Chain A
Amino acid sequence: MFRTKNITLLIFACLSFFSMSATGAETLSQADSLYRAGSYGEAVSLYEKALKQPEADAAIYYNLGNACFRTQQYAKAILCYERMLREYPGDADALFNLSLCQSKLSLKEQPRSDFFFITWWNSFRDMHSVSELMAYAFVFLLLCLLAFAGYMFLHSLLWRKVCFGFSVALLVVTLLLNVVAIQRAYIMSNTQWAIVMQDGTLLDNPVEKAKSVHKIHAGEKSVVLEVYQNNWLKIEMPDKHVGWVKKEQCSII
């Protein structure tokens, strides 16, 4: 009795899951065809509807970003691409469209570190998801162990030397990959970014009449440092200026 009950529950759960995903896919294809027909505004609202479904794929944000771009909401498009890139870092299309939106808003490229290695390290980290990094680390560890096995069980002295060298190098790569993955996971869970949605100014205090510190422009990506009374955000701009803005001025990625 108990078992049958469980099974029916399971079937119900499966059915509801399938029907849900089916309607989600329908909404998406409808939105795609609206976009192709040029009704971008309606496509935007349908994509947003599709994103409201539980467990919606963050990849939908890419298409929403395109629809926003077509309706000239560049800051919103940037927000969408950034949200998509959070889950799928390194997506070439999204990165391209993002930079196009930034150029539409006449935003400067983000300043990068002067040291080549740090730049390279950071961009490698930002271009890969934790999942990808862990998969790479696993593969490299496997190769490292194979090389080590060669060192241990081969007879020829030359081959043993070669295998040892390889195994050490692969071990170093594996360790670096793990460090990058840990760093990225830490950053993703401890940092919040926000996109400035409209031009405005940074204030030196979280009050309406505070002195303005710096101009901010729509589409800029900032780091959220602090939240005050759920109404004010302390943000750091890419050019390192820090100040307060009203929560409505920004959207968190």
Chain B
Amino acid sequence: MKFQINRYFLIFLTSFLIPVVLMSQTLKVEAPSSVDINDYFKVQYVTSTTNVGSFVPPDFSDFELLAGPSYSSFSQSINGRVSESSTITFVLRPRGAGSFTIGPASAVVNGQSVKTKPVTIRVTGTAKDKSSDRSSNSSRQPDNYTVQKAGTRVSNQDVFIQVSTSRNHVYEQEAVLITYRIYAKLGVGLSNVSMVKKPDFKDIVSQEIPISSIQTTTEQLNGQTYRTGKILQYLVFPQKSGKIRIPGITFNVTIAQQMEMESMMDAFFNGGGYVGVNVQRSVDDTYLDVKPLPLPKPTSFTGAVGSFNVQREVLPEVVQSNDVATYRLTVSGKGNLRLIPAMSVSFPSDMEHFDPKTSEEVDVVDDNLSGSVAYDYSFVPRNAGKQIIPEAVFTYFNPELNKYVDVKIPAVVLDVKKGKRTREDVEREMELRNSDIRDLHDIRGNSLLPSLSLWGGLLLQGLLLVCSIVLFILLRRFVAGRMDAVSMKRKHSTRKLLKTIKKVRKDFSVSRNSTIAFAALSDALRIYLSERFNIPLSDFNSEHVQSLLQERVQQPEVVTTLMQILSDADCAKYAPALAPSLNENYFDRVVSVVDEVEKNVAQ
């Protein structure tokens, strides 16, 4: 299946290549059929091979050649199939209205000599300015329209740079636009312009206006046609009165010159047949005549020069006590917007206020700065109630009217509501506003701890619960079993004792041997006590037994009687003469003591 798809895909691809192959021995011309007289347009010659030679361009004398010929070639290989194309481009501009025909161009394509069809271009509209309408100018020299040949010396008339200022007599702080333009005689191929060193402005605040690409126009100078374009612009604000020097700048200019080539193929392999020639062009110092601002300066004047409007605003709309609010002054208009110092606002003493923060939205429009600058004064009203930020005056100098202008900033009456926040909250917020973000984290892959989903967690808990319940039951059973064994042994020992006493009594009634009977009684009692109270026979001495029994048996007389019987038995064993006489009553006493012990033993 995979193979099949691949095969189809190949067929699909080659189906695109076939027309390319068929097209390979043609030279096509692409040009618009109608153009506006003020527009420039492209004429392109396209072939589907890079093997092109002896290209002979047609006569473009009805048009002005702005650029070209420029060559570009393209080759691409897909699955071993090579598709190629080359394009030769001319950029032209009409000299006048009417219908013009561009004759055929010829070239050798893949060894065959081919010719293009002639194209007719209709030029419509009317020319905008007279300098560009040069249709009647018959004194032009044909070699002006071809690119300079390599090795030609580039004279100061061929390429030069001029500086112009938008105004020469200005006030301090008034904007001046300085423009550097390059002029290149038609036929001089400009390829690059760069500043050698940035100028070092003194007593001037300057701002470079970026120029993304040089837009060229044509201009007539001393009977010659030049292409010209802005290469550098500065907007400057003089900071001092007097003669201010604008230092000259040196530029590196690279000019493309065409090399003599035998064929187009050579051109392709030798960088398009062009060589870059570097020349330096300098601009002399220029001077600005800066007038001082008229005296006396009003006290409210802080240095704004231009024409401005001021608006004031309080954010948020409802101000609460112990809440950070913003008093925003927005200066909008045209002039030295970036150089206006923040006004001092006299906040009521009850309000804590902070240094203003400036944010600007400023653009260069024509020869001045235009836009708005906002000054944000943060303030915190401490108490609820009516508060007034008093009215103020913003004064600027208008150089066009030659006078100082006052703008009234009306007072703000604030109805401060009681806020919920405390002084500490405000301090925390102000501290937050003035702090910096925490540093980057060191990210070293995922953490080693596995993450637990809800279901996973519940399942784990369930497992734990089940396991512990099982464990508890088992443990309980085990413990209960042990308890049973102990109590069974106890019951058993009592029964065994009573049985033994009965037997001894019977034997005694037959034999009447009190020594044997006492010995048997003593043994039986010892075994009973050891089993009944968990006393090992090894530490069986009378004091230990007595203290233990006193702990466990509630009535002391019972213990004393029991101990008496034990000592009687010992006595009968070692000093039979001192032993009490054994009779039925004695046996009854023993049985009753065992009963008493059983009754009074603490569980």
Contacts and interface: CB of A to CB of B under 8 A. Distances in A.
A18 B551 CA distance: 74
B14 interface: no
A134 interface: yes
Chain B interface size band reads: 20 to 34
Contact of B452 (A21, A62, A131): A131
Contacts of A21: 445
Nearest to A32: B440
B158 interface: no
A141 B461 contact: yes
Contacts of B454: 130, 134, 181-182, 185
B440 to A, nearest CB: 5
Contact of A106 (B315, B438, B444, B472): B315
A173 to B, nearest CB: 13
A57 B437 CA distance: 21
Interface in B184-217: none
A99 B432 contact: yes
B457 A66 contact: no
B2 interface: no
B438 A59 contact: no
Given A59-B441, A97-B438, A103-B429, A131 B461 contact: no
A10 B192 CA distance: 57
Interface in A125-147: 129-131, 133-135, 137-138, 141-142, 145
B90 to A, nearest CB: 40
B433 A97 contact: no
A24 B445 CA distance: 9
A95 to B, nearest CB: 10
Which range holds the interface residue count of chain A?
A: 35 or more
Given A28-B443, A149-B472, A153-B479, A100 B437 contact: yes
| B326, B443, B458, B460: most-surrounded residue (chain A CB, <10 A) | B443
Contacts of B476: 152
A112 B481 CA distance: 59
A120 interface: no
A35 interface: yes
Nearest to A99: B432
B467 to A, nearest CB: 9
B443 A138 contact: no
A208 interface: no
Contact of B441 (A93, A103, A153): A93
Interface in B422-464: 429, 432-433, 435-441, 443-446, 451-454, 456-458, 460-461, 464
Residue in B326, B437, B476 whose Cβ sees the most chain A Cβ within 10 Å: B437
A134 B452 contact: yes
Nearest to B442: A32
B391 to A, nearest CB: 25
B325 to A, nearest CB: 10
A35 B440 contact: yes
Given A57-B446, A131-B451, A131-B452, A178 B441 contact: no
A225 interface: no
Contacts of B433: 100, 103-104
Given A138-B464, A142-B464, A178 B432 contact: no
B166 interface: no
Contacts of A223: none
B456 A134 contact: yes
Nearest to B437: A97
A135 B472 CA distance: 23
A181 B456 CA distance: 12
A163 B316 CA distance: 57
A160 to B, nearest CB: 14
Contacts of A135: 452, 457
Nearest to B325: A106
Contact of A103 (B432, B445, B465, B468): B432
B453 A131 contact: yes
A28 B315 CA distance: 40
A121 interface: no
A137 B461 contact: yes
Nearest to A182: B454
A96 interface: yes
Given A93-B441, A141-B461, A100 B326 contact: no
B437 to A, nearest CB: 4
Given A57-B446, A131-B451, A145-B468, A62 B460 contact: no
B475 interface: yes
A63 B464 contact: no
A69 interface: yes
Interface string B248-287: 0000000000000000000000000000000000000000
25 contacts: A25-B444, A59-B443, A60-B443, A62-B440, A63-B443, A66-B439, A93-B439, A97-B438, A100-B435, A103-B432, A103-B433, A106-B315, A131-B452, A134-B453, A134-B454, A134-B461, A135-B457, A142-B464, A145-B464, A152-B472, A152-B475, A153-B479, A174-B461, A178-B458, A182-B454
Given A28-B443, A62-B440, A104-B433, 8 more contacts: A97-B438, A106-B326, A130-B452, A130-B457, A138-B457, A148-B468, A149-B468, A152-B476
Interface of A: 21, 25, 28, 32, 35-36, 57, 59-60, 62-63, 66, 69, 93, 96-97, 99-100, 103-104, 106, 108, 129-131, 133-135, 137-138, 141-142, 145, 148-149, 152-153, 174, 178, 181-182, 185
Q: Which 7 A-B pairs have the closest CB atoms?
A: A134-B457, A93-B438, A185-B454, A131-B452, A131-B451, A134-B452, A97-B437
